[in-house]
Amino acid sequence: MTAVSTPSPRSTPFRITAVCLGNICRSPIAEAVIRDRATTAGLGSLVTVDSAGTGDWHLGHGADPRSLSTLASHGYQLPGHISRRIDADWFDGLDLVLAMDSMNHRDLLALAMMTDSEPDVRMLRSFDPELAHLEAPHPDLDVPDPYYGGRDGFGAVLKMVEAAADGLVRELPDRLNR
């Protein structure tokens, strides 16, 4: 990945939150990859990336060990991750909310309607240049939940997230200047 031109500084970092169901598989992978890609592009000090879930099944737990091992085997780090649940109060402080699948997207849009803010809620894979022509919700934009599958599913999730993260990071300078 090549560095992108650095935008004008903002008074606060651009806040991105990746969201899946339980915040132990997909969204932690997205958090680590997007943070890494933004840092590599020279935007790390201008962007904060975190993650959350729409459900509370795994609140307070660490990331799934298969997520962590997949990330580590590809050079990514996610130290100290603890799963959290997104709340409507979060939207005021977020610039971009990334849903991992259509169900998460629907839930996030419903949650956003409970606020006075107008958060930018997108499906993560809509940033993948190969899929940018699709409109959410679309099944091809879903990052499938690997929780009940084997280790291969986590590798497939990582590849999808990497493609989308590259597209997102290419767009970040424009978003930072808004």
Among 152, 170, 160, 137, smallest CA distance to 27 is for 160
**Structural Rg of the chain based on CA atoms:** 15
Report the sign of the C-alpha dihedral through residues 3, 4, 5, 7, in that order. negative
* 50 has catalytic annotation: no
The two tokens of residue 127 are 């940033």
Per DSSP, the three-state class of 55 is coil
Q: For the chain, how long is the longest CA-to-CA vector? A: 44
All residues at 6 or more sequence positions from 160 whose CB lies less than 8 Å from its CB, including other chains: 125, 128, 143
Query: Which residue in the block uniquely carries the two structure tokens 């599913």?
Result: 153
**Choice among 36, 64, 128, 145 that is catalytic:** 145
**Choice among 26, 66, 122, 125 that is catalytic:** 26
**Choice among 10, 15, 20, 92 that is catalytic:** 20
- The answer to whether the beta carbons of residues 47 and 172 sit under 8 Å apart is yes
Q: How far does Cα 115 stand from its chain's mean position?
A: 21
* 26 has catalytic annotation: yes
What is the residue type of 52? A
Q: Catalytic amino acids? A: 20, 26, 145
